[in-house]
Structure 1
Amino acid sequence: MKIPMFYLFGVSILAILCVSAWSVSARAGYESAPYEVIESDGNIEIREYPDLMLASTQSEVEKRGQDGSFMKLFRYISGDNEGNQKIEMTTPVFMEEGDENSKGKMGFVIPKDVKEAGAPEPQNSDVSISTRKGGRFAVIRFSGIMNTKKADAQEKILREWLTSRGLDAEDSAERAGYDAPFVPGPLRRNEILIRLKPESTSEKLPETTEGN
């Protein structure tokens, strides 16, 4: 007996909704790097970030952790550190592209309580603890599987927006991913962040709002 098409369509839609709800709830279960939204324009925001503590390692950004960088950081938070301390996973995972003088980096945000108590030193010399200096960033949010082509296209849109606003920004950009590798592309949360130069100003919204 043939299954009616409308039934298959309904099951497909239900499955998509279930996966979407699961993805959002799973993401919400992690502590996320805090920030304040200074200005919002569609999927672009100006955010103020505090100093963050990161566990970082060298990484080829395009490989999205498949070069072993993700597992080095995951082993660190799983207890591969002084005291064998287990540390909760957080979002996002920050990624920086390298240049001719240095390799790229991947970094996990250290949870607030661990940061305040003092993050344990890594056992692996490839992992280091460092401070990501806070400040004001322009951020564009998008979905899909992040790769160089997509990231570059989104960065171009963001820089054109900055130019239209007369805002000066750094030449480098960061990528941020909020989801596990197996989350479908349309449900993923990705961001490109560009640090604004200290002398660059933007008109504030009536109120700032905390985001995550």
Structure 2
Amino acid sequence: MKRRKMLYLIMALVVVVLFAFGWRITSRSAYESAAYDVVKSEGDFEVREYPDLKLAMTSSEFDAQGKDGSFMRLFRYIDGANQESQKVAMTTPVFMEPEHDKVAGQMAFVLPQKYDSQTVPQPVSEAVQIQERKGGRFAVIRFSGRLNQETVKNAEAKLRDWASGEGLVCQNEVEYAGYDPPWTPGPFRRNEVLIRLEGETTTR
């Protein structure tokens, strides 16, 4: 009897793990994701080359985690609050930049690749701007859990140590990226810290 109960417990755990893994993968795969090429990979660390990306961007306080209205401003834009009243597909990741050198923090949605400067819908709100994120090479670390000051600072420190050991020169500014909806459990979340590398640019 005990062996049977143990078998049922193991089977239940396997089902839960498989369900969680499958849900995580399918929830992400439903969205277009910002393109990049992996130049180097080592565990949780990567060097990536990004092309130019078009972003819908708004001011944001990182500690607020979108509760300052920044996320909803961007969501309303892609939901049709633009001059063309056009729905814009949600993509991943959501980029965030903390405040630095007296420059306000930012939150940004990546716009689908089909848009160029002529076809991208223009926001009706002055609080949302269309900007270009210049392509280039970035050092990146991936981690799970929640995005907060503690987790991103720890990840940034690890990333800078790794990059230094690889002979890479990092710029001072840092970006954070989140790939999952807010309700995704911490262990299944994909978060990243990205730092642009000095002298590494691309014109793709």
1:176 is the counterpart of 2:177: yes
Bigger shift: residues 125-134 or 55-64 = 55-64
Residues 12-58 of structure 1: per-residue CA shift (max 9 Å, x gap):
44233212211111101111100011111111010000000000000
For residue 56 of structure 1, give the secondary structure of its aligned residue in structure 2.
strand
Segments of structure 1 that go 5 or more residues without pairing to the other structure are: 201-212
CA distance in 1, matches of 2:200, 2:158: 22
1:71-86 equivalence runs, <5 A: 71-86=72-87
**Letter paired with 2:140:** V
**Letter paired with 1:192:** V
Name the counterpart of 1:46. 47
Name the counterpart of 1:87. 88
CA distance in 1, matches of 2:117, 2:100: 33
Bigger shift: residues 184-193 or 117-126 = 117-126
**Letter paired with 2:154:** A
Shift in Å, 1:6: 5.4
For residue 81 of structure 1, give the secondary structure of its aligned residue in structure 2.
coil
RMSD over aligned CA atoms reads 1.8
Name the counterpart of 2:134. 133
Shift in Å, 1:144: 0.8
1:24-173 equivalence runs, <5 A: 24-115=25-116, 118-173=119-174
CA distance in 2, matches of 1:28, 1:86: 19
CA distance in 1, matches of 2:10, 2:148: 31
For residue 11 of structure 1, give the secondary structure of its aligned residue in structure 2.
helix
TM-score (norm 2): 0.91
Give aligned-pair identity as a percent: 49
TM-score (norm 1): 0.88
CA distance in 1, matches of 2:117, 2:17: 40
CA distance in 1, matches of 2:193, 2:100: 17
**Letter paired with 2:111:** I
CA distance in 1, matches of 2:118, 2:76: 20
For residue 113 of structure 1, give the secondary structure of its aligned residue in structure 2.
coil
Report runs of 4+ in structure 1 exceeding 6 Å deviation: none
Segments of structure 2 that go 5 or more residues without pairing to the other structure are: none
CA 124–135 in structure 1, closer or farther in 2 if over 3 Å, else same: same
Query: What is the count of residue pairs matched by the alignment?
Result: 198
